[in-house]
Structure 1
Amino acid sequence: MKKLILAFLAVLFAMLVLVLWFGNVKPPAADALLASPHATQLHGGDALLPLPPVPALPEEKVALGKRLFFDQRLSHDNSLACAGCHDLARGGSDRLPAAIGIAGARGSVNTPTVFNAALNFVQFWDGRASTLEEQAAGPVHNPLEMASSWAEVIPKLKLDSDYRRAFQQLYPEGMSGQSIVDAIATYERTLLTPNSPFDRFLRGEKSALSPRELDGYRHFLEYGCASCHQGVLIGGNMYQRFGVMGDYFRDRPVARLIPADLGRFNVTGREEDRHVFKVPSLRNVAVTAPYFHDGSADTLEKAVVIMGRYQLGRELSEIDVQAIVAFLRTLTGEWEGQRLQ
């Protein structure tokens, strides 16, 4: 009996040592801020990775897609192009709480940036499109955006001899809804914004982040922001409920719910998907205000406070908020050799 008691006590002691040991181990990401030249590995999640280089795609398709991206004839009244809401001079978005379509029609959600969208695991806030091609077709047919159809768009574009020639050369079927969105998506796959300060840091340039930015990065990791904002996009690779630790929709100034607030529920009809959205990428977040699907946060500071409160269950101090914001500003990349503004 005495031996059994001693053995039992030894097991308890070993368990206590393990609990104390693991309880005092910091998250690997926090300990490895400067350790890896290519990635910061997250505990139990995907690594934070630098953006890949712009892919080498057929130049003719890219050029055709670019022209279509800026062509207002894709809309019913010839007044709105893809670039009207995805303004490349405004971080690839429109910097409005909700998109404005033809004839001043107001959309129901904030416009996500088109920059780096090719790396999202799904498209749209509710994930209803699985590819860039599906996404490109959506606004054309949305009555609150371009309010058109391929039956209306294609005859207009066929009046353009350059378009007819390009589609005949590049696509066996010529001009069609499928070939139009393929060209647009090909162009959008080139809209990557590499070489942010954070990318340079991940590649081993330790001086790319200032002490304050590095402090913000530590907070970002240790508070758990990176549990959802991870991967090459620092987001964009999972769904999450908006309001994990509190009822955001009850507390926001505009309490009335609209269908867009239901998020993924509108796609699946499953109760567990109510208020679930695609986690947005934080790439270029400093130049794509306002924030969230409802555009309710007009500054990055407000967005960080709300995320701390409703996703992490924390009331962040002003010092920590400013440090995290300083880090988030290091995620702004370059387009055509210039840092986004």
Structure 2
Amino acid sequence: MRKHIILFMIFFGLFIRCKQNTSENTKELKEKAVKLQKEALKYFGVIPSKMPGSKNDTPELVSLGRRLFFEKRLSENNTISCNSCHRIDKNLAGVDNLPTSPGTKGKTGTRNSPTVYNAGFHITQFWDGRAKDLVEQAKEPILNSIKMGIPNKKVVVKKISRIRGYRKLFKKVFPKTKRPISYNNIAIAIAAFERTLITTDRFDDFQKGSLDVLTKDELIGLDKFIKIGCVTCHNGPLLGGNSYNKIGLLNVYENNKDFGRFNETKNEIDKFMFKVPSLRNVALTAPYFHDGKIKTLEKAVETITYLQLNKKLNKMDVGYIVKFLMTLSGKNFTLKQEKKTKN
């Protein structure tokens, strides 16, 4: 009996000690979460609920833009729509998950198609910033010989004008316009729809005060993301999308054929400069970099920290950062494909 009592006392003591340690660990984790939340708000902040330019977007305009976003007849051979490269159907994250996207003639582009989600918050559009906003961006692929392949604006307008359903919709949405179906109005409608493509994620929940929404490993990843220096470029609500930087800042990147913004500005200082990509939904948008040459998120983290920060991370640190980046995946990829507008 005495032996049983001694064993009971030992086990009871161990139980109390474990309980105290757990309580201390929980308290320490909470304190860490509070500190990191303050830092997160300083460096990042939450995604706004409305995009710039959406103030006057009507439900009818957005609905028309949604139809046009899925409209394959905006391509020369009726095979490619905006959604073909920036897929929002089947819960995809606004990309086609290809290195570069195929066009109407079987050729592929030279740059990776970035996600359309949250795009309207970016300083400019495209990797090289050649479009100032979503309206300008919507105009470019339709007339691009590799992408959608229609030769000029007049052909686009003529093609859409032949579709009875669109004649009615454009007249309803642009009632005071003499010619409702115009190339500019097509782009305006598509942009209005794209301004609704805003994601929400656990990281925003964390920044809004839900401190227990991130795990211990994810908090460690956030801490490392900040301390290693990733926030130098990936800051603001989108963790990027608000500046340009040279790819291969401290160590040369293997792709030296694409000069980035230089192709637009012809300014020598802009060689190899690209818009810093947003990291929102980054775990869902592989492959990575402007040329789509990096297949995994782990490799992307490892490569970019070496190129830009001259730091070689070990697998454990890479793993922690990736776990944090996965908290940036949106919770609202549930759009249904729009029905085809009838002739």
Q: TM-score, normalised by structure 1?
A: 0.83
Q: Secondary structure of the equivalent of 2:38?
A: coil
* Equivalent residue in structure 2 for 1:323, among 315, 320, 325: 320
Q: Is the 8 A contact 2:95 2:115 kept in 1?
A: yes
Matched position secondary structure for 1:151: helix
Q: Distance in 1 between matches of 2:307 and 2:34?
A: 26
1:53 CA drift (Å): 2.0
Cα contact 2:34–2:211 (8 A) shared by 1: no
Q: Following the alignment from structure 2 to structure 1, what is the Cα–Cα distance between the partners of residues 210 and 37?
A: 9
Report the equivalent of 2:214: 209
CA contact (8 A) 1:265 1:276 kept: yes
Q: How many residues align?
A: 294
**1:50 and 2:36 matched:** no
Partner of 1:9 in structure 2?
none
**Correspondence for 2:139:** 137
What SS class does the counterpart of residue 42 from structure 2 fall into? coil
In structure 2, how many angstroms separate the alpha carbons of the residues matched to 1:268 and 1:151?
28
State the secondary structure of the residue aligned to 1:104. Answer: coil
Q: CA deviation at 1:54?
A: 4.8
1:94 is matched with which residue? 96
Compared with structure 1, are the counterparts of its residues 187 and 106 closer, same or farther at alpha carbon in structure 2 (3 Å cutoff)? same
Residue 160 of structure 2 aligns with which residue?
Answer: 157
Q: Does residue 1:33 correspond to 2:36, yes or no?
A: yes
Give, in angstroms, the shift of residue 293 of structure 1. Answer: 0.5
**How far is 1:31 from its partner?**
8.8
Unaligned runs of 5+ in 2: 1-31, 336-343
Verify the 8 A CA contact 1:118 1:189 in the aligned structure 2: yes
Give the distance between the partners of 1:73 and 1:322, measured in 2 at CA. Answer: 44
Of the candidates 221, 224, 227, which is equivalent to residue 222 of structure 1? 227
Residue by residue over 1:228-250, the C-alpha shift from the partner in whole angstroms, topping out at 9 and shown as x without a partner, is: 1111111000000001111113x
- In the alignment, what sits opposite 1:70? 70
2:45 aligned partner, one-letter code: L
In structure 1, what residue type is equivalent to 2:110? Answer: S
Rounded Cα–Cα distance in structure 2 between residues aligned with 1:147 and 1:103: 8
Q: List per-residue Cα deviations over 1:285-324 (Å, max 9, x = no partner).
A: 0000000001111000000000110011100011000000
In 1, Cα distance between the equivalents of 2:205 and 2:34?
Answer: 19
Is the contact made by 1:291 and 1:299 (CA closer than 8 Å) also made in structure 2?
Answer: yes
Asked whether the 8 Å contact 2:85–2:95 carries over to 1, the reply is: yes
Task: Indicate yes or no: 2:181 matched with 1:175.
Answer: yes
Q: Please name the residue that 1:234 is paired with.
A: 239
Aligned counterparts of 2:215 and 2:92: Cα–Cα separation in 1: 26
- Do the aligned partners of 1:76 and 1:152 also contact (CA within 8 Å) in 2? no
Match of 2:199 in 1: 193
Which 10-residue stretch deviates more, 53-62 or 156-165? 53-62
CA distance in 1 between counterparts of 2:34 and 2:229 reads 14
- Within the alignment, does 1:61 sit opposite 2:61 as a pair? yes
Query: Could you tell me the percent identity over the aligned residues?
Result: 43
1:240 counterpart SS class? strand
**Preserved contact between residue 98 and residue 295 of structure 1 (Cα < 8 Å):** yes
Answer whether contact 1:30 1:218 (CA < 8 A) is retained: no
**Higher Rg:** 2
Partners of 1:31 and 1:167 in 2: CA distance: 51
Deviates more, 1:49-58 or 1:286-295: 49-58
8 Å contact kept, 1:86–1:92? yes
For residue 245 of structure 2, give the secondary structure of its aligned residue in structure 1. strand
The answer to whether the aligner puts 1:312 opposite 2:317 as a matched pair is no
Q: How far apart are 1:40 and its partner, in Å?
A: 1.8
Q: Distance in 2 between matches of 1:178 and 1:152?
A: 13
CA distance in 1 between counterparts of 2:159 and 2:270 reads: 40
Aligned partner of residue 41 in structure 1, secondary structure: helix
Structure 2 residue 286 is the aligned partner of structure 1 residue 289:
yes
Q: Which runs of 5+ in 1 are unaligned?
A: 1-28, 43-47, 250-254
For the residue of structure 1 that corresponds to 2:140, the secondary structure is helix
Aligned to 1:117: 119
